[in-house]
């Protein structure tokens, strides 16, 4: 077995041929990419800047604290490409920020259901007057949310509780849906800072360099965090895995759209599963050759221990032949 080279885990490792990255920057629609840009402690100022451009001015965020997502009971590998971040402002306003690749059944119900968790958690022991803090659910969607005809420019939907006279009934619960496929502005059409944010997110993976219009401190920091060459070996593996999940979801959606039948959906799922398994096995083999232990390979690939041992056994048998 090769000894693991310590320098592989240094920032800037970019010599691996096993992870074929053709883009300079990450895909922000992946779980890894979304969390890298908005979900890390060092990314708080990026998320804060994004939200402050989107929210009403009276909810301007001074600081954020990330919350524990476990209360939602979701497994990130079973969420149909739903990646979310939960955070709280200094005034205890709760923000649920999520990226979703595919439209799911009862999507509106799900969004409302998710906001019930932070609301219930506001209940205080003993005497309590039911004074709730605001809750915002912000969803960045990689699909068109509204089926009914609307202006193509209406890529943002603000949803609040109103009465029969269209008067605001309650101002502490709001849902904001951003339909990224409807945002098609070119660089010369960007009108404000938030337009720049959407332009950054939609085109990030395709940028070869920082465009002049995004040559601002907050975006330059975003590009720095998104640059694949800055990742260490483990981050590259995690990103590759996340990218595969994204490709799988995209392929399943395309199969369903092209066939329009349940049989077509199932066939697409099975084919993508087989392809993903083979790619995962290749990743495991490469990790083994780089000195990763069986425990590490199991952790990063989700392969079973016996399956990893069999792969290693096959490799050793081939080497002895």
Q: How many domains does the chain have?
A: 2
Contact present, 114 and 86 (Cβ < 8 Å):
no
For the chain, percent of residues with pLDDT exceeding 90: 38
Domain housing 282 = 233-320
11 domain residue, yes or no: no
Q: 3-class DSSP state for residue 156?
A: strand
135 domain residue, yes or no: yes
**Does residue 36 register a pLDDT over 90?**
yes
Contact present, 227 and 221 (Cβ < 8 Å):
no
10 domain residue, yes or no: no
The span from the CA of 139 to the CA of 141, in Å, is: 6
Contact present, 19 and 31 (Cβ < 8 Å):
no
Q: Tell whether 272 and 155 lie within a shared domain.
A: no
Q: Tell whether 118 and 169 lie within a shared domain.
A: yes
The span from the CA of 140 to the CA of 180, in Å, is: 7
Contact residues for 58 (Cβ-Cβ < 8 A; gap 6+): none
Residue with the bigger pLDDT between 108 and 196: it is 196
Q: What angle (nearest 5°) sits at the alpha carbon of residue 175, between those of residues 147 and 69? A: 115
In the chain the beta strands, taken as DSSP E runs, fall at 64-66, 82-89, 94-100, 135-141, 156-162, 168-179
Domain boundary among 190, 208, 226: 226
Q: Tell whether 207 and 293 lie within a shared domain.
A: no
| 120-139: average pLDDT | 90
Q: How many other C-beta atoms can be found within 10 angstroms of the C-beta atom of residue 300?
A: 18
Q: Tell whether 256 and 281 lie within a shared domain.
A: yes
Instruction: Determine if residue 92 is left, alpha or beta; phi over 0 gives left, psi from -120 to 50 gives alpha, anything else beta.
Output: left
Q: Tell whether 314 and 211 lie within a shared domain.
A: no
Q: Record the pTM.
A: 0.69
Q: Tell whether 89 and 178 lie within a shared domain.
A: yes
- Give pLDDT, residue 263: 57
- Give pLDDT, residue 223: 97
In Å, what is the CA distance from 60 to each residue of 44, 201, 219, 298?
Answer: 14, 22, 19, 43
Could you report the per-residue pLDDT of 155-178, keeping only the tens digit for each?
999 999 999 999 999 999 999 999
């Amino acid at each position: 077995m090769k000894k693991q080279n310590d320098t592989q885990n240094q920032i800037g490792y970019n010599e691996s041929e096993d992870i074929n990255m053709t883009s300079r920057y990450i895909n922000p629609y992946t779980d890894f990419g979304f969390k890298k840009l908005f979900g890390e402690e060092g990314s708080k100022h990026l998320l804060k800047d994004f939200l402050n451009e989107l929210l009403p001015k009276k909810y301007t965020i001074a600081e954020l604290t990330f919350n524990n997502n476990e209360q939602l009971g979701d497994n990130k590998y079973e969420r149909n490409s739903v990646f979310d971040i939960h955070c709280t402002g200094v005034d205890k306003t709760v923000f649920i920020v999520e990226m979703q690749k595919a439209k799911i059944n009862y999507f509106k119900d799900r969004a409302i259901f998710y906001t019930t968790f932070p609301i219930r958690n506001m209940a205080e022991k003993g005497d309590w007057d039911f004074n709730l803090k605001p809750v915002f659910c912000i969803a960045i969607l990689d699909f068109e949310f509204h089926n009914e005809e609307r202006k193509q420019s209406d890529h943002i939907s603000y949803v609040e509780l109103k009465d029969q006279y269209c008067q605001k009934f309650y101002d502490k619960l709001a849902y904001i849906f951003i339909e990224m496929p409807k945002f098609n502005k070119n660089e010369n059409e960007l009108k404000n800072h938030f337009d720049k944010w959407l332009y950054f997110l939609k085109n990030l993976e395709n940028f070869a360099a920082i465009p002049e219009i995004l040559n601002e401190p907050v975006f330059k920091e975003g590009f720095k965090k998104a640059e694949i060459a800055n990742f260490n070996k483990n981050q590259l593996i995690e990103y590759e895995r996340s990218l595969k999940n994204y490709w799988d979801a995209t392929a399943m959606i395309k199969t369903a759209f092209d066939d329009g039948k349940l049989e077509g959906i199932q066939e697409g799922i099975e084919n993508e599963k087989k392809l993903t398994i083979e790619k995962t096995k290749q990743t495991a083999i490469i990790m083994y050759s780089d000195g990763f232990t069986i425990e590490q390979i199991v952790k990063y690939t989700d392969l079973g221990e016996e399956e990893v041992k069999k792969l290693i056994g096959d490799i050793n048998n081939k080497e002895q032949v």
